Amino acid sequence: MSLHSVPKPEHFDVKNLSRILLILLGIGALSLLITLVVGFVAPPGSPLRRQFAFSWLFAFIYFFTVLAGCYFWILVHHSTDSGWGILVRRQMENLAMLLPWMVLFFVPLFLFRKDIWAWITVKNQVHVDPALEAKLPYFEFRLGHVVIPFFWLRTIFYFLYFGLAAFYFRRTSLRQDADGDPRWSIQMRGVSFVCLLVFAASLTAMSFDWIASLDYHWASTMWGVYIFSGAAGAGMALIILVVVGLKNAGYLWAVNEEHYHIMGKLLLTFSIFWGYIGFSQYMLIWYGNIPEETQWFLRRNVESWNVLSTFMVVGRFFIPFLYLLFQFTKRNPKFLSFICFWVLAMHVLDTYITVLPFIHPTGFQINILDLLCLFAIGCPLAFLFLRTIGDVPLFPARDPRLLESVNLSN
Amino acid sequence: MTAAAARRQSFAVVAEFGSAAELYHAAERVRDAGYRFWDVHSPFPIHGMNKAMGLGKSPLGYIIFCGGLTGFLTAVGLEFIPSSILYPLIVHGKPVDFFTVPAFFPIMFELTILFSAFTAFFGVFILNRLPRLHHPLFDYLPFRRVTNDAFFLVIESGDPKYSETGTRDFLQGLGSKEVKVIYAND
In the prediction, which pLDDT does B4 show? 52
For A311-345, the pLDDT digits (tens) are 999 999 999 999 999 889 999 999 999 999 999 99
Please check whether residue B167 lies inside any domain of the structure.
Answer: no
Q: Would you state the pLDDT for residue A165?
A: 95
pLDDT in tens, B138-180: 888 888 899 998 999 998 888 888 888 888 888 888 888 888 8
Question: Mean pLDDT over residues B56-65, rounded?
Answer: 89
Asked if residue A51 lies in contact with residue A290, where contact means CB atoms within 8 angstroms, the answer is: no
- Average pLDDT over every residue of A58-79: 95
Q: Is the pLDDT of residue B12 over 70?
A: yes
Per-residue model confidence as pLDDT tens digits over A264-290: 999 999 999 999 999 999 999 998 888
Q: Mean pLDDT throughout A251-258?
A: 88
Average pLDDT, chain A: 90
Q: Which of A112-116, A237-241, B95-99: highest mean pLDDT? A: A237-241
Q: Rounded distance, CA A119 to CA A141, Å?
A: 15
Q: Quote the distance between the C-alpha of residue B52 and its chain's center.
A: 16
The separation between CA A94 and the C-alpha centre of its own chain, rounded to angstroms, equals: 14
The residues, ordered by sequence, that sit 6+ positions from B57 with a Cβ below 8 Å of its Cβ are: A327
Count CB pairs under 8 A between chains A and B: 22
The reply to whether B7 falls in a domain is no
Task: Tell me whether residue B179 is in a domain.
Answer: no
How far is residue A149's CA from residue A160's CA, in Å, rounded to a whole number?
17
The 10s digit of each residue's pLDDT in A91-105 is 999 999 999 999 999
The pLDDT-based confidence of B56 (bands split at 50, 70, 90) is confident
Chain B residue numbers touching A283 (CB-CB < 8 A) = 102-103, 105-106
Q: How far apart are CA B22 and CA B20, in angstroms?
A: 6
DSSP state of A290: -
Among A73-87, A131-145, A278-292, the least confident range: A131-145
* pLDDT tier at B66, thresholds 50, 70, 90: very high
Assign A157 a pLDDT band (cuts: 50, 70, 90): very high
Q: What is the mean pLDDT of residues A375-379?
A: 93
Structure confidence at residue A2 (pLDDT): 53
Neighbours of A245 (CB within 10 A): 15
% of chain A surpassing 90 pLDDT:
58
| Domain-embedded: residue B12 | no
In a domain, B89, yes or no: yes
CA-to-CA separations, B120 to B68, B117, B125, B127, in angstroms, rounded: 10, 5, 9, 10
Q: Name the residue among A1, A283, A409 with its Cβ closest to that of B102.
A: A283
Amino acid at B78: L
Compute how many other C-beta atoms are within 10 angstroms of the C-beta atom of residue B29.
16
Q: Are A355 and A53 in contact (CB under 8 A)?
A: no
Domain membership of residue B81 as a residue range: 60-127
The neighbouring-strand residues paired with B152 are: B16, B41
Give the confidence band of A3 by pLDDT, cuts at 50, 70, 90: low
Nearest to B102 among A282, A325, A327 (CB): A282
Tell me which chain B residues have a C-beta less than 8 angstroms from the C-beta of A285.
none
Query: How many residues are present in chain B?
Result: 186
Q: Which of residues 119-158 of B touch A (CB under 8 A)?
A: none
Query: Which residues of chain B neighbour A279 with C-beta distances below 8 Å?
Result: 102, 105
- Quick check: is B79 in a domain? yes
Q: Looking at the partner chain, which of A1, A279, A289 has a beta carbon nearest the beta carbon of B105?
A: A279
With a CB cutoff of 8 Å and minimum separation 6, the contacts of A348 are A62, A374
- Region of poorest pLDDT, from A75-89, A289-303, A371-385: A289-303
What is the number of structural domains in chain B? 1
Per DSSP, the residues of A342-360 read HHHHHHHHHHHHHHGGGT-
Q: Say what the pTM is.
A: 0.87
Spell out which chain A residues touch chain B, with contact meaning CB-CB distance below 8 angstroms: 1-2, 279, 282-283, 286-287, 289, 325, 327, 409
Question: Which B residues in the span 84-123 are in contact with A, Cβ-Cβ below 8 Å?
Answer: 92-93, 102-103, 105-106
CA B146-A83-B17 angle, 5° bins = 20
Please give the angle made by the CA atoms of B140, B145 and B148, to the nearest 5 degrees: 160
Buried b (16+ CB within 10 A) or exposed e, A54-63: bbbbbbbbbb
Give the separation between CA A36 and CA A335, rounded to whole angstroms. Answer: 38
User: Rounded to whole angstroms, what are the CA distances from A376 to A46, A149, A372, A380, B100?
Assistant: 22, 29, 6, 7, 42
Residues of chain B with Cβ-Cβ distance to A268 below 8 Å are none
Is residue B178, in this structure, part of any structural domain at all?
no
Residues A9-40 pLDDT 10s: 888 887 778 888 889 999 999 999 998 998 88
CA dihedral A316, A317, A323, A326 (to 10 degrees): 140
Q: Indicate the pLDDT class of residue A125, thresholds 50, 70 and 90.
A: confident
Residues 6+ apart with CB under 8 A from A92: A70, A71, A73, A74, A77, A85, A239
Residue B1 has pLDDT above 60, yes or no: no
Strands (E), A17-121: none
pLDDT of residue A261: 94
DSSP string, A189-203: HHHHHHHHHHHHHHH
Q: At what angle do helices A47-79 and A368-388 cross, to 10 degrees?
A: 40
- Strand positions, DSSP E, A156-240: none
Closest CA to B83 of B56, B104, B102: B104
pLDDT in tens, A175-221: 998 888 889 999 999 999 999 999 999 999 999 999 998 888 888 88
Which of A277, A286, A309, A405 best probes binding to B when mutated, by most B CB atoms within 10 angstroms? A286
* Residue B22 located in a structural domain: no
Position A58 pLDDT exceeds 60: yes
Residue B115's pLDDT is: 96
Whether omega for the bond prior to residue B131 falls within 30 degrees of 0, making it cis, is yes
